[in-house]
Amino acid sequence: MSVFGTTGSVSRRYLCPMLNVNPYLNFPGTTEEAMNFYKSVFGGEFTAFARFSDSPGHEKMPKAEQNMIMHAALPLGNGHTLMATDALESMGQDLVTGNNYYINLATESEEETNRLFKGLSAGGKIEMPLNRTFWGAYAGMCRDRYGVQWMLNYDLSS
C-alpha cells in the first residue's frame, strides 16, 4: 500500500495490526499547510503523505481536490501519531471546526512545555497561559491558527 507510506518501514508500520489510538484531524484543504506547521513544532518526518491523486478513481474528482491530502501522518513521539485529511466539498463534507476536542500532551520538562506551547499558539489564541495549577502541573491551553485545540500538561511531581 504505497499510498500510506513513503518508505518500506513506514508501510510495514501502517500495515502491522496493532492496538492504537490516534487523533485524526480534518481541514478544509489546508492539511498540507497545517501538517507542515505541526512538523515545524514537533520536528520529525511524515510517515505518510498521500494526495487524493494517489487514490483509485481520483480522475473523477475536481482537479483542485486531486492535489489535496488524503492522508498525512506525523509521529509525535512514544508511538503517538497525528493524522489528518482534507475534507472534500465535492463529497459534501461540510467542515465545522468545534471546540469540544483537545489533544492533550503530557510533556517531560518545563522547557519542552514552553517550546511546544509557544510553537502551537503562534498565530492562534491562548486560552489559558502556561501556569502552575492546583493539580500540581505546569499547564496551558491554546487554539492553534488552524482551529485545533491543545492542552499541555507537565506533571511537576514527575
Partner 1 sequence: MARVSTYLNFARETEEAFKFYQTVFGGELTGIMRFGEMPAAPGMPPIADADKNLLVHISLEILGGHVLMGTDAPSSMGFQLNFGNNSHINLEPDTRAEADRMFAALSAGGAVSMPLADMFWGAYFGSCTDKYGVQWMVNTMGK
CA 126 to chain centroid, in Å, comes to 18
**For residues 42 and 35, is the Cβ–Cβ distance under 8 A?**
no
Q: Does 18 bind partner 1 (CB under 8 A)?
A: yes
**3-state secondary structure (DSSP) of residue 40:** helix
- Only one of the segments 60-68, 89-97, 119-127 lies at the binding site for partner 1 (rule: CB under 8 A); that segment is 89-97
Considering only CA atoms, which of 59, 57, 77, 54 is closest in space to residue 6? 54
Residue 24 sits in the site that holds partner 1 (CB under 8 A): yes
Q: Does residue 79 contact residue 39 with C-beta atoms inside 8 Å? A: no
Spell out the residues 6+ positions from residue 115 whose beta carbon is closer than 8 angstroms to its own.
none
Per-residue binding string, partner 1, 99-128, x by CB under 8 A, is xxxxxxxxxx---x----------------
Least distance (Å) between residue 52 CB and partner 1:
12
Of 61-69, 97-105, 121-129: span binding partner 1 (CB under 8 A): 97-105
The three grid cell numbers given for residue 123, joined into one nine-digit string: 498565530
Query: Does 80 contact partner 1 by CB under 8 A?
Result: yes
The least distance separating partner 1 from the CB of residue 63, rounded to whole angstroms, comes to 21
> Which residue number, 19 or 60, has a Cβ lying nearer to partner 1?
19
